[in-house]
């Protein structure tokens, strides 16, 4: 595993690369090439999901990449329509088949889907999968603190990770203490704000100052906060640039300027956990 990517300790005794590669909205027929580019660039954490409909393409890249399986960290996520215990177990069977893997490094519940109210059953399935050795670490995505507490109280098992939207315009400061108190690592999806933050003039001026791209400044800023970050791209040059963030540092003035961009009311670009009830 590339030595310049730090490892983040998880509460189950395992570690995860701090910088990884996401494939949200990447079609299956493009996912193989994108993941190839990522692995060649040095990424070892690859993040997909059942709902992305590209697990087969990701699996092809894993088989063809020439990197030992134990040097890769592969994550997928349970689809919203499979939260019942037996459905979750069957959905994981399908994920394993599509990825063609004997085990996953991490499996997450994609959304809590509060209207359905079956995420505790889904969590019990993930606990069982971990007990069976079919997945090494288990966690959640888009969970609020009250969702976290319910699954912990029901099973005694604390999620290793909560994958949430987090970027300079939506910094989630209000929930960070809740994660620290529960020893749950935060993993940022849409770290570039689904592209919207790339147009910010404040960050552009900081990027000019350091001779880096806006994306590189954003990723460096997030990595400095000890969160896990999974940018996504299908362009080989951008994939390479997004991992080339370990040779420069931001100063306190840079960080304060980016801190000030937080817009909790308007900065979110994706769905809200309270109301996201789509059964994809």
Per-residue pLDDT of the chain (280 residues; tens, 9 = 90+): 445 899 999 999 999 999 999 999 999 999 999 999 999 999 999 999 999 999 999 999 999 999 999 999 999 999 999 999 999 999 999 999 999 999 999 999 999 999 999 999 999 999 999 999 999 999 999 999 999 999 999 999 999 999 999 999 999 999 999 999 999 999 999 999 988 899 999 999 999 999 999 999 999 999 999 999 999 998 999 999 999 999 999 999 999 999 999 999 999 999 999 999 998 8
What's the number of domains the chain is made of? 1
Q: Is 170 a catalytic residue?
A: no
Evaluate whether residue 265 is within a structural domain. Answer: no
The two structure tokens encoding residue 7? 């490892």
Evaluate whether residue 173 is within a structural domain. Answer: yes
The two structure tokens encoding residue 268? 């979110």
Evaluate whether residue 203 is within a structural domain. Answer: no
Give the model's pLDDT for residue 196: 87
Q: How far apart are CA 33 and CA 24, in angstroms?
A: 14
Q: How far apart are CA 129 and CA 12, in angstroms?
A: 14
Give the model's pLDDT for residue 3: 58
- Domain range for 57 is 7-194+224-246
The two structure tokens encoding residue 191? 């770290």
Give the model's pLDDT for residue 194: 85
Evaluate whether residue 261 is within a structural domain. Answer: no
Q: How far apart are CA 255 and CA 222, in angstroms?
A: 10
Q: How far apart are CA 268 and CA 105, in angstroms?
A: 29
Beta-bridge partners for 164: 188
Q: How far apart are CA 270 and CA 280, in angstroms?
A: 15
Are 197 and 165 a contacting pair, CB within 8 Å?
no
Q: How far apart are CA 228 and CA 23, in angstroms?
A: 15
Evaluate whether residue 168 is within a structural domain. Answer: yes
Catalytic residue among 43, 52, 189, 221: 52
CATH code at position 238: 3.20.20.100
- Helices marked H in the chain — which ranges? 28-41, 55-64, 85-99, 119-131, 145-155, 173-182, 201-210, 214-223, 236-243, 252-259
Strand order across the 228-229 sheet: 21-22, 45-47, 73-78, 104-109, 135-141, 161-165, 185-189, 228-229
Evaluate whether residue 280 is within a structural domain. Answer: no
Q: How far apart are CA 86 and CA 127, in angstroms?
A: 13
Evaluate whether residue 59 is within a structural domain. Answer: yes
The two structure tokens encoding residue 276? 């996201």
Q: How far is CA 168 from CA 156, 175, 195, 203, 256, in A?
A: 33, 15, 12, 9, 11
The two structure tokens encoding residue 130? 């971990």
Evaluate whether residue 115 is within a structural domain. Answer: yes
Are 168 and 197 a contacting pair, CB within 8 Å?
yes
Give the model's pLDDT for residue 279: 86
The pTM assigned to this predicted structure is: 0.95
Q: How far apart are CA 1 and CA 34, in angstroms?
A: 19
């Amino acid at each position: 595993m590339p030595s310049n990517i730090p490892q983040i300790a998880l509460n189950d005794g395992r570690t995860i690369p701090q910088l990884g590669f996401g494939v949200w909205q990447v079609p299956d027929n493009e996912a193989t090439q994108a993941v190839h580019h990522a692995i060649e660039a040095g990424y070892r954490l690859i993040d997909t999901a059942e709902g992305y409909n590209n697990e087969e393409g990701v699996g092809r890249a894993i088989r063809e990449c020439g990197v030992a399986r134990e040097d890769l960290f592969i994550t997928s996520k349970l689809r919203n329509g499979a939260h019942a215990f037996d459905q979750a177990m069957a959905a994981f069977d399908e994920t394993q088949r599509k990825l063609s893997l004997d085990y996953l490094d991490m499996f997450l519940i994609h959304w809590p889907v509060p209207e359905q109210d079956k995420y505790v059953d889904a969590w019990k399935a993930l606990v069982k999968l971990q007990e069976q050795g079919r997945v090494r670490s288990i966690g959640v995505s888009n969970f609020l603190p009250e969702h976290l507490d319910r699954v912990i109280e029901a099973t005694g098992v604390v999620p290793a990770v909560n994958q949430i939207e987090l970027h300079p315009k939506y910094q989630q400061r209000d929930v960070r203490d809740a994660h620290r108190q529960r020893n749950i690592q935060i993993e940022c999806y849409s770290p570039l704000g689904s592209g919207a933050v790339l147009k910010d003039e404040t960050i552009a001026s900081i990027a000019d100052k350091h001779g880096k791209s806006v994306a590189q400044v954003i990723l460096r800023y997030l990595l400095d906060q000890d969160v896990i970050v999974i940018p996504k791209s299908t362009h080989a040059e951008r994939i390479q640039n997004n991992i080339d963030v370990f040779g420069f540092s931001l100063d306190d003035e840079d960080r304060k300027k980016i801190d000030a961009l937080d817009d909790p009311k308007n900065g979110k670009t994706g769905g809200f956990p309270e109301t996201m009830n789509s059964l994809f």
